[in-house]
Amino acid sequence: MFHSSSYKKGVVINMNKVIFHIDVNSAFLSWEAVDRLKKASSLSASDEVIDLRDIPSAVGGDINRRHGVILAKSFPAKQYGIRTGEPTVSALKKCPNLTIVPPNHKLYEECSEAFVKILEEYSPCIEKVSVDEAFCDMTGTEELFGPPLQAANTIKDRIFKELGFTVNIGISTNKLLAKMASDFTKPNRVHTLYPSEIKEKMWGLPVGELFFVGKATVNKLHTLGIYTIGQLANTDVNILKSHLKKHGEMIYNFANGIDSSLISNDEVKNKGYGNSTTIAFDVEDEATAKTVLLSLAENVSARLRKDGQMANVVAVGIVDNNFRRTTHQKTLLSPTHNTNDIYNVVCQLFDNLWEGEPIRKLEIQTSKVISEDEEKQLDIFSFQNDLKKKKLDKAIDQIRNRFGNDAIQRASLLHGETTDKKG
């Protein structure tokens, strides 16, 4: 068992916790590869099936769509400099023989659930932060599964044996360090990053590899002569605060391995209708974020209409690339289940909430729902327009119910690839 200790004057770290961060290696690509191998095996195919993980390959948008992006890539593809989130067209220029497969989000959700189901056998406290990664609080489980390294290797090997894909597992005393450790050498590895190992394993890394240090922050730090995480950790925090305000203090703490956030497996209670999207790459521009929000608004609105419900309150949630979640909500003048009405409010909330941080997940939640049969106060100035919007929504719902969700789409959604999760 670990004990509390201080590795830097004035900084005391709680070393009694044991935290794992489990990250699926090239998740979407790996899940596609495993699924294709299983299908080929079940059909007793005579031709040899190529494992997507062994060739330059990627999961990405349609090459005929200018705005299609790479959602995941194989390790051979990475050698060509292909990056998650870059345009598919750009990736093909780097590697003309790149094999691109379309995303299958239903498959990814199934694989994610199977992955988490195994984790639940080892820890009572799991925080799923995206479809392909989760934190496990393994504190006090040594008597059951052995020391942390042994337990981590058991989990890693079991996931590969039973599900066919590999994971990296980072081990430490808090979420930040466990996450940093899981990003070390890949694939299929277990790494530790305890407070006593920070100087050796983390301080020599470029400062841009620290969480919540984006390109703009890297440039500012470079002007201060700070190029490594170690240099950041040993800089006077007041100097950082004078140039970067609260953000400077936060990354100073991170560089010193200080993270007080707790693992939470509490599910948000669904008091209405909600939808969320974990995005395969960090969203850093307003247009992309609002395209994702429109997709969510369409889903939520359609479900409200299907159940004959209208919402009085709309809320938006943002989870940044350091897993911090912020929310904002608004009470409507009158209840609605119209897509445009909900989306317009969502955009207002987003504009008030977002401060430019990279986005990993977006959420829409509605609450205080009432039956559409209940009396609604009519606005004489919008009554006719409301009737038109209601007829349009009804027509769209009928087309989708008969021919599928893809039968009719908004033009602005034709370029988006997201993973939806109903709430």
Kindly list the distances between the CA atom of residue 353 and the CA atoms of 153, 327, 346, in Å, as whole numbers in the listed order: 41, 7, 10
Q: What are phi and psi of 12, to 5 degrees?
A: -110, 125
Query: Quick check: 56 and 99 in contact, CB under 8 A?
Result: yes
Quote the CA–CA distance of 130 and 146 in Å, as a whole number.
27
Q: Does 249 participate in catalysis according to the annotation? A: no
**Partners of residue 316 on adjacent β-strands:** 328, 364
**133-136: long-range contacts, CB 8 A cutoff, minimum separation 24:** 133/21, 133/22, 133/23, 133/24, 133/182, 134/21, 134/22, 135/19, 135/20, 135/21, 135/22, 135/175, 135/178, 135/179, 135/263, 136/19, 136/20, 136/21, 136/22, 136/263
Query: Quick check: 89 and 66 in contact, CB under 8 A?
Result: yes
Query: Quick check: 127 and 134 in contact, CB under 8 A?
Result: yes
Token readout for 301 is 């609105």
Query: Nearest 5 degrees, angle CA 104-CA 155-CA 114?
Result: 30
Of these residues, 133, 298, 357, 363, which one is catalytic? 133
Quote the CA–CA distance of 184 and 190 in Å, as a whole number.
9
Catalytic residues, which ones?
133
